[in-house]
Structure 1
């Protein structure tokens, strides 16, 4: 996370402020299940990782996918089936889900990256619809009923994941590892080349880079991390349904990312937390959730073009604290 912060040697006092904020965030996550319903916090973490994975593709490669629910929901199905029907341990079930999502990302990305802009987005949407109807008809997904009563099992044969606190800290560890992978990826030479492709693809081609290979690599990495989020989600809620692969799920992760701020690591996490909290609150009220989220999206587009976190980074206070918005 600290990699998002661009600092000079004269800004070391500000560095301590940013480190303090990071430490406070980690401490808050560690103590969160003692004050907030653990299942809800685990939901936020799963969707935050999903949004970060999507932001890796949109924010750093400049590719807008309307089909990321395929990887999230596909991994949820693969993991749920492997754990329930094959009896594999949860860690192996998650690996199976991530592998399945990566394979889907390789196939979908190979087809989609041949086009750009809205054509790329429409191809991912069409392929996502194809996978949705596959899940509707496939025998192992159980159609509209989905895969239910998925056992959490024992992590490494020792840690009982049926205990909410054990499950929470396992999900937190997965989330932190996922975010660390994304941070390392975007700050690697590969990530730098992706940003250059996003800014000026023709110039990257003229410099001799194989743009298609870099785009495909980013697509598969994003799919794998989205699959990791979906696989963990299947164990947390102990089911996988068509909702996980529906186009609405893809729209939801786009909203989370845009609301928080594309091109930032913290933004999608904030957006996921806000949307999940809003949906959780409205679930017990008479307000239609879709209308409210639509209004939130409109306000974000009109007033927060960079997203909430992006606007804070670009503000005077954000710059004073040493944050820098780069897009």
Structure 2
């Protein structure tokens, strides 16, 4: 470099590639709204303090996110590239376990926080696009999964006394939710991995009758695309909308309405712990058609409405949710 000529100012560094990849998955109408989020950082000193979560219920477009774990250490890590919150409600659907079909008669709710750390994990899809994959953080003061107890009729038995001539089933978490990939929408890739177990209740079953366990869960990988099982199932991404923060924060909310998430790639084990010393396990297995190999079981989450919000800074995200509660 010549000393007689002033050195030119260095060109601005390009945005990190993973953030560009995330933006490529969005419709054109949302690109401008996402640009500020994915290419800027809000100084913590200019945002509200993040020492505690918001105290009032957030308003639109963050309705239902009051239990997002904004103060959790994993969310507060300054090396996170992105942070966010999700709430999802499924209004219909069914579970097929072997020869037994369990309908969903009441809403199922998922809620949690998530972050994208400095390792910038992502997945690639067959069409050449890619999306960020996030780590899930359980909500504060609320269950991650809220599912109704459902009643299963026993074949060949008239249900005169529910809980005696029928079986009640409760879906329970069997481990952490992992590999959250919200922008896998419409792709043949799971939106998340959800390990569950089915707690069976009947007057004769005892208190520890389960299908699946923490060590051997039913691992659901629901997708809005097409599953890899035979025969395949195909979901529906529903309608997507992108909602910039109404108060000028960098947070961007993404809503998904009328979606269908499906999976038929998981096996289901036999029952365990049912009756005295497991004496009723085989009867339950015979009645429900268990164990059942992958492809013979299925789950369908219908009429699913979900909203998730993304931000590059936890302080700005906390301020966005707090400010929304005042409007």
The normalised TM-score by structure 2 is 0.22
Q: Tell me: higher relative CO, structure 1 or 2? Use CA pairs within 8 A at least 6 residues apart.
A: 1
Q: Which one has the bigger strand percentage?
A: 2
